[in-house]
Structure 1
Amino acid sequence: MKLSAAQAVDVLRAAGEPTRLRILALLAREELAVLELCRVLDQSQPRVSRHLKLLAEAGLVERFPDGAWVFYRLVQEGYAGELAAEILRRVDLADAALMRDAERLIAVQAERAADAGEYFARNAARWDEIRSLYVAEADVESAILKAAGQGPFRRLVDLGTGAGRMLTLLGPRADQALGLDLSQQMLNIARAQVAQAGLERCELRHGDIFGTRLPDESADLVVVHQVLHYLGDPAAAVKEAARITAPGGRLLIVDFAPHNLEFLREQHQHRRLGFSDAEIKRWLADGGLNRMAAETLPPARTQGLTVKIWTAERARQPQRTAA
């Protein structure tokens, strides 16, 4: 359904204000919390919130609460989203105000990354202990093995490998395995764990989940285990994981269902407090994957975390018959 003339005017009016255009340009980079937008724009929360309200009413941005925080992201679908994308394509990114915003956003991202890096370095030696505080790890790992399938896998890639537990768990089913992580402390622990497990065809590499530099469709099992809730742009990470998933291959995501344990954000650098099935399904579909399945593992304690295991596959290419 196309926009009516009145709706088109509303969209253009919403986008056609300097601060709101700056907000759209920022959200084109990644989803952001209200307070982060306030810092970048150097404006008060009431003022920024009003701009966001107008953009949301015009269908240009999507608002979603996450615990005590509220995040916003660009609407990707529909004619309003297409119109916003076209406006941003025609805006000169060398504009002084937009460049200043981009620099401030980089500073916010760098601060966020530094905080996370310090946290991982401080807790690397007892990472598995922290991760198992709320969930029965044995039950989760049993479900992961079932969701992954028997294999054998030609190539396993574990994105954000951490202490390497997914490599030692699934590596015996793979001809080759690769673990990527940005934390050298985590990689050192993973190397020790992999060596102790006797996995000879397993490589640990310093790498970015947003830009793995791996070939398209090169792994028949890709794992993203307890990583997305730390990221500023989880949708982009899922898209990259889907990109390297081979035809007939499987992407397996393990994370938390939505929750309200705000202290995990404050004490353990969780940026997002869980994900919904609909959100993950949309990201997987955007990455060209289908046949999504989800398994729910409820917590052992009342105030615990519910673990979700999402799997999706890339369809095999139809075989061409000889002429």
Structure 2
Amino acid sequence: MSTFFDQRAKTWDAEPRRHTLAADLFAALDRAFPLRPDWAALDYGTGTGLLALALAPRVRRILAVDSSAGMLDVLSRKAREDNHANVEILRADFTADPLPDGPFDLVVSAMTLHHIEHPGHLLRAFSRLLAPGGRLALFDLDAEDGTFHATADGVHHRGFCRDELARLLADTGFREADITTATRIEKHGRTYPVFLAAARRNGT
């Protein structure tokens, strides 16, 4: 899967719709959580960092994680050019690699979960990374018929049923799950809702 994104990294940001999507997701995140300047945040599946760089001025530090070296190269250049000194970059796959040192106050992951074969494994990793009571913000597609992606390569889920995701969050160490529509993507002449699943790690 990382090869697919490596090949597209240099032109990824050329699509205006990706900037619009990142802005919409950040706005939904900002409405859902009281972002604090002392927070340590982690963005998993960060890609070229469109969401991470929007979040960076609002937190103390952000660790931007992706398995694609090409995407992270683009992010590294942008972070330097924009003087985001609090952005740290890590190439990793949390379903296979050791987890970084935590804890984090906020974990964000946007449009990544449908690429993960076993979402529960990743959610448990997020739970381990978060401080007790820490916040999780998951963005992904509502269940769809498979027409969103041009190819099924690396796509393990055609979006998610909100009720099933809420149960999975409860089973993997989260509470107070609130799943709402964050934005909608217009593609192929169709509309695909994108949800925000906001939750807290168990503990105080």
Identify the TM-score tier after normalising by the shorter chain: 0.7 to 0.9
Any stretches of 5+ residues in structure 1 without a counterpart? 1-115, 318-323
Residue 219 of structure 1 aligns with an amino acid whose one-letter code is: F
| CA distances 1:104-155 after superposition (whole Å, capped 9, x unpaired) | xxxxxxxxxxxx233112211232456936x754333311222242212431
Q: Distance in 1 between matches of 2:16 and 2:107?
A: 20
Residue 129 of structure 2 is matched in structure 1 by 244
Q: CA deviation at 1:257?
A: 0.4
Residue 140 of structure 2 is matched in structure 1 by 255
Rate the CA distance shift 1:254–1:161 in 2: closer, same or farther, 3 A: same
Q: Match for 1:288 among 162, 173, 178?
A: 173
Q: Equivalences for 1:95-114 in 2 at 5 Å?
A: none
The answer to whether the 8 Å contact 1:212/1:240 transfers is: no
- Counterpart of 1:264 in 2: which secondary structure? coil
Q: Match for 1:228 among 110, 113, 121?
A: 113
Any stretches of 5+ residues in structure 2 without a counterpart? none
Q: Equivalences for 1:135-284 in 2 at 5 Å?
A: 136-210=21-95, 211-215=97-101, 218-262=103-147, 264=149, 266=151, 269-284=154-169
TM-score under structure 1 normalisation? 0.56
Q: CA deviation at 1:230?
A: 1.2
Q: Distance in 2 between matches of 1:193 and 1:200?
A: 11
The answer to whether the 8 Å contact 2:7/2:70 transfers is: no
Rate the CA distance shift 1:297–1:202 in 2: closer, same or farther, 3 A: closer
Q: Which has the greater radius of gyration?
A: 1
Tell me which of the two structures has the higher relative contact order, counting C-alpha pairs closer than 8 angstroms and 6 or more residues apart: 2
Q: Distance in 2 between matches of 1:154 and 1:285?
A: 24
- Counterpart of 2:122 in 1: which secondary structure? helix
Residue 58 of structure 1 is matched in structure 2 by none
The answer to whether the 8 Å contact 1:156/1:176 transfers is: yes
Find out whether 1:311 has 2:198 as its counterpart: yes
Find out whether 1:119 has 2:119 as its counterpart: no
Q: CA deviation at 1:168?
A: 0.6
The answer to whether the 8 Å contact 2:23/2:51 transfers is: no
Q: Distance in 1 between matches of 2:182 and 2:31?
A: 13
Q: CA deviation at 1:200?
A: 0.6
Q: Distance in 1 between matches of 2:52 and 2:21?
A: 19
| CA distances 1:3-53 after superposition (whole Å, capped 9, x unpaired) | xxxxxxxxxxxxxxxxxxxxxxxxxxxxxxxxxxxxxxxxxxxxxxxxxxx
Rate the CA distance shift 1:316–1:118 in 2: closer, same or farther, 3 A: closer
Percent identity (aligned) = 26
- Counterpart of 1:162 in 2: which secondary structure? coil
- Counterpart of 2:151 in 1: which secondary structure? helix
Q: Distance in 1 between matches of 2:22 and 2:203?
A: 33
The answer to whether the 8 Å contact 2:22/2:51 transfers is: no
Quick check: which one's helix share is greater?
A: 1
Q: CA deviation at 1:306?
A: 0.7
Rate the CA distance shift 1:244–1:190 in 2: closer, same or farther, 3 A: same
The answer to whether the 8 Å contact 2:25/2:183 transfers is: no
Residue 213 of structure 1 aligns with an amino acid whose one-letter code is: L
TM-score under structure 2 normalisation? 0.86
Rate the CA distance shift 1:227–1:239 in 2: closer, same or farther, 3 A: same
